[in-house]
Amino acid sequence: MSYRIDDNTIKSLQKAQENEITEYHIYLKLSSLIKNEHNSKILQQIAREELRHHDELKKFTGTDKKPNILKIYFYIFISMIFGITFGLKLMEKGEKSSEKLYRELGDDIEEFKRIAKEEDEHEKELIEIIEEERLEFVGSMVLGLNDALVELTGTLAGLTFAMKNTRLIALAGLITGVAASLSMAASEYLSTRTEQDNSRALKSALYTGGAYIFAVMFLVLPYLVFTNYVISLVFTIVAAILILLMFNFYISVAKDLSFKERFFEMAGISLGVAAISFIIGYFIRLFLGVDI
């Protein structure tokens, strides 16, 4: 080997080597946990690539590296809860430093040039073709969440000064939310059934209704916890923002979309409707002379 690697670079390679063997175990474990044979074969193929990268790095570091057990369990847990594609792409975003190191060394050492190419292209292509139901129905989840955040946040804001009673607001919010979720699910089923089979239409409806119910529970919860209606409204707004943050982060990672653009668009619409509804609720209460 004519090109000499300095000690700091060796340490970085050892860290990259640990990442490779860790990712090998993550891919291998996930391949045994999922039922989809197509996905399982893809994960096994990626695992073999990661193990080979670890062994090739060993030629330069001269050491064997043990996997990071905590990272293995963390990404397996994330993948099982939020989907394989999200878990693997989240992991991939955290390993950019290793890919950068491979590219830099690839200018002088052929092995790293090849490893960098495989990490940057081959692995990403494999992850892209993973068939995952959750991502197929992401449009339905967006529809359910977006409608719930806009409609229910506005409704709760309007009811807050109209009623000034957290229990009554929670009751009205839950009734409105449950009824709206069933309506949304039914509408999604009917619209999807005209284009696809009944099975996919039902799943699409469940994803839409489920996302709506999820949002309803978190938005109404503050009115069941606090007795002050203003504090309840503040926490409802915070809950809406947190839901938007989490969901848009998920979509941005899983679908490689812009997080900032989507978040501010949905947040602007939801909070704008809430502010308008809040004002309307206040003036309706004054107009009707209702004092609860």
129 vs 36: CA distance, rounded Å: 13
- State yes or no: pLDDT of 292 exceeds 60: no
- Name the pTM for this structure: 0.66
- State yes or no: pLDDT of 183 exceeds 60: yes
Nearest Cα to Cα of residue 43 among 55, 57, 33 = 33
In this structure, are residues 75 and 87 in contact, taking their beta carbons and an 8 Å threshold?
Answer: yes
At residue 223 the predicted structure's pLDDT band, cuts being 50, 70 and 90, is very high
191 vs 195: CA distance, rounded Å: 7
pLDDT per residue as tens digits for the range 226-254:
989 889 988 988 888 888 888 778 777 77
pLDDT at 16: 84
More confident residue, 158 or 40: 40
- State yes or no: pLDDT of 289 exceeds 70: no
pLDDT at 94: 66
In this structure, are residues 10 and 61 in contact, taking their beta carbons and an 8 Å threshold?
Answer: yes
Mean pLDDT, to the nearest integer, of 10-39? 86
What are the residue boundaries of the structural domains of the chain, listed by start?
Answer: 7-132, 137-288
Sequence-distant (6+) residues with CB within 8 A of 49 are 118, 122, 123
Give the whole-number percent of the chain exceeding pLDDT 70.
Answer: 78
Mean pLDDT, to the nearest integer, of 218-229? 90
**Angle (deg, nearest 10), helices 37-61 and 7-33:** 160
Q: How far, CA to CA in Å, does 259 sit from each of 143, 244, 246, 263? A: 17, 10, 10, 6
Mean pLDDT over all residues of the chain?
Answer: 79
pLDDT per residue as tens digits for the range 79-94:
888 778 788 888 877 6
pLDDT per residue as tens digits for the range 108-124:
676 777 777 777 665 66
pLDDT at 21: 92
More confident residue, 292 or 190: 190
Mean pLDDT, to the nearest integer, of 192-208? 73
- State yes or no: pLDDT of 42 exceeds 80: yes
Q: How far, CA to CA in Å, does 157 sit from each of 48, 221, 233? A: 54, 14, 7
- State yes or no: pLDDT of 2 exceeds 60: no
Backbone angles phi, psi at 65, to 5 degrees: -115, 140
- State yes or no: pLDDT of 70 exceeds 90: yes
Of 20-24, 189-193, 259-263, 285-289, highest mean pLDDT: 20-24
Q: Which residue pairs from 236-241 have beta carbons closer than 8 angstroms and sit at least 24 positions apart in sequence?
A: 236/153, 236/156, 236/157, 237/153, 237/271, 237/274, 240/149, 240/153, 240/215, 240/270, 240/271, 240/274, 241/267, 241/271
pLDDT at 1: 45
